[in-house]
Structure 1
Amino acid sequence: MSHPWFAASAAPRVLAHRGFVPTDAEGIVENTVAAFAAAHAIGAKYVESDCHLTADGVVVFFHDDDLLRVTGDPRKIAAVRHDELVEIMADRGGLASAADTIEAFPTLRFNIDVKSPDAALPLGRIVAGHADRVLITSFSDARRRRALEAARHLGGEPATSAGRETVARLLAAVSTGSSALVRRVLRGVDAVQIPERQGPMRIVTPRLLRLVHDADVEVHVWTVNDRHDMDRLLALGVDGLVTDRADLALNATASRP
């Protein structure tokens, strides 16, 4: 039986990457309350985000470990207190703390990438009570497992997707063509979230899709912003698109026969 996180819509799923920033938007940046509200407003059921920990221990949705790209401030997120971040982000769409944002959008499913090792435990504790609509991921399998364990300790069981080490073992297993080996690698994993290519290497192939699907695990591809690529990947059989253009992706999935 699949995790409740997957029940928000049928596959293929659209995961709004860091929320949704309309092309004509002013005063809105990624991973803000306004960006999540915009994703919700266009009909997205799933939002993808990333988290870090502030200087005073608040988990916030932010991709980079510093403020430079988004605000021009070179300081690390971990060096800034929550209240100051609220002020800094006030005219950029509003700071999105994990706890407040998950509460504020009770119909959204959250796909949360644990970027900071220090954020893993507090994130797990935050999502424990909302585990039916949270998927935890990280490039680091150790970080995602730490967050999962914290949620489980409080009675929650979030969904999860494979980290980098698990994906590497998956690709080795796929190369053998062994369904049994792929199932073993993906035990305890609900989704595999991967780019279509890594440099010259094609990762998303018909063989990978077949073997991962045989293990009852979904394949979500990031970050897909071109409509032609969306249509092509959907025709190939991927289960989800992580995209900055959730508007285009929602149209692409709705146009599927």
Structure 2
Amino acid sequence: MTHPWFSPPAPRVLAHRGLVTLAAAADGVVENSFLAVAAAHAEGIAYVESDCHLTADGVVVLWHDADLRRITGDARPVADCTVRELEHLMAERGGLITLAQALDTFPTLRFNLDVKTDAAAEPTGRLVAKYADRVLLTSFSDERRHAALATAYTHGGHPATSGGTSTVARAVVAAAARSRAMLARAARGIHAVQVPERRNGIRIVTPHFVSACHDVGVEVHVWTVNQTPDMERLLDLDGRGHGVDGLITDRAEAAARVVRKIHPPRN
């Protein structure tokens, strides 16, 4: 049975760290803020891709970097700051949003959550357990991903999941070797692979790779796709309207228009 996270059908637009339009950015709104998540929701985007860190007082917040420097100019690590301190720093930047707030405030959104630290794995898994139908858990570290999933399972939730770096590497090698058996083993227990189109000059996302993943029941989501021609090409890899299943993008509103163009809503 397909996990509920994957309804409605592909292709999917995943708002990368929420949606920050040029106008919002001019007003000081930043990624992974409350207003960025709210903007994706207001635009009708079904999925938000975000990241999980743990604060000094044990709260999971949506934040990408290990420290605050790029977003606020403060050099401290997220792990050394309290929620109150982060709320103060984010007050003029769109507002801090915790994972609990995101899940409670936006009950129709589906979240793709990248667990960024070992310390955040168990608290994230515990929080998402009761929202598991609309959460996909992932991490570059498969060990960290498994830790978050195990905690969710213990608390009665079964989120969707996409593979970490080692799982994705095995899937890429298996697809290149054209071994369905190897790919099926690599993909066991995951629902998706989330990959860049190219890595170190090597193309990962090809028509064959996508077809091979589909053959073993795994979706392909590509990050970070911000140019309209790339969106169109990836969604129509075979020239017949078949391509990748998801676009992780900073321009979710543009990607949604491309999806509607290539896959018009049925009457």
Q: TM-score higher than 0.5 here?
A: yes
**Structure 1 residue 199: deviation in Å?**
2.0
In the alignment, what sits opposite 2:251?
A: 245
In the alignment, what sits opposite 1:173?
A: 174
In the alignment, what sits opposite 2:4?
A: 4
Which is worse superposed, 86-95 or 60-69?
Answer: 86-95
Percent of aligned positions with the same letter in both sequences?
A: 58
Q: How many aligned positions are there? A: 256
**Structure 1 residue 184: deviation in Å?**
1.2
Aligned to 1:24, what secondary structure does the other structure show? helix
Aligned to 2:195, what secondary structure does the other structure show? strand
Q: Which runs of 5+ in 1 are unaligned?
A: none
In the alignment, what sits opposite 1:24?
A: 23
Q: Which runs of 5+ in 2 are unaligned?
A: 238-242
**Structure 1 residue 253: deviation in Å?**
0.2
In the alignment, what sits opposite 2:183?
A: 182
1:192 partnered with 2:198: no
**Structure 1 residue 18: deviation in Å?**
0.1
Distance (whole Å) between structure 2 residues aligned to residue 181 and residue 144 of structure 1:
21
Distance (whole Å) between structure 2 residues aligned to residue 46 and residue 132 of structure 1:
13
Aligned to 2:217, what secondary structure does the other structure show? coil
Write the deviation string for residues 45-83 of structure 1: whole angstroms up to 9, x where unpaired: 000000100001100000001000000000000000111
TM-score (norm 2): 0.95
Distance (whole Å) between structure 2 residues aligned to residue 122 and residue 182 of structure 1:
31
Structural RMSD (CA) = 0.7
Write out the 4+ residue segments of structure 1 that deviate beyond 2 Å after TM superposition.
none
In the alignment, what sits opposite 1:160?
A: 161
Amino acid at match of 2:123: P
Distance (whole Å) between structure 2 residues aligned to residue 179 and residue 186 of structure 1:
10
TM-score (norm 1): 0.98
Aligned to 2:94, what secondary structure does the other structure show? coil
Distance (whole Å) between structure 2 residues aligned to residue 23 and residue 85 of structure 1:
24
Amino acid at match of 1:250: A
Aligned to 1:253, what secondary structure does the other structure show? helix
